[in-house]
Amino acid sequence: AQSVTQPDIHITVSEGASLELRCNYSYGATPYLFWYVQSPGQGLQLLLKYFSGDTLVQGIKGFEAEFKRSQSSFNLRKPSVHWSDAAEYFCAVGAGWDTNAGKSTFGDGTTLTVKP
Partner 1 sequence: ETGVTQTPRHLVMGMTNKKSLKCEQHLGHNAMYWYKQSAKKPLELMFVYNFKEQTENNSVPSRFSPECPNSSHLFLHLHTLQPEDSALYLCASSRITGELFFGEGSRLTVL
Size of the site for partner 1 (CB under 8 A): 28
> What is the H or E stretch that residue 20 is in?
strand 19-21
Determine, following the binding rule CB under 8 A, whether residue 107 of this chain makes contact with partner 1.
yes
Which lies closer to partner 1 via its Cβ, residue 59 or residue 81?
59
DSSP-derived secondary structure letter, 95: -
Among 12, 42, 80, 113, binds partner 1 (CB under 8 A): 42
Structural contact between residues 34 and 57, judged by C-beta atoms closer than 8 angstroms: no
Task: Specify the length of the chain in residues.
Answer: 116
Residue 45 sits at φ, ψ, to 5 deg, of -120, 135
Determine, following the binding rule CB under 8 A, whether residue 58 of this chain makes contact with partner 1.
no
Contact set with partner 1 (CB under 8 A):
32, 34, 36, 41-46, 49, 51, 90, 92, 94-104, 106-109
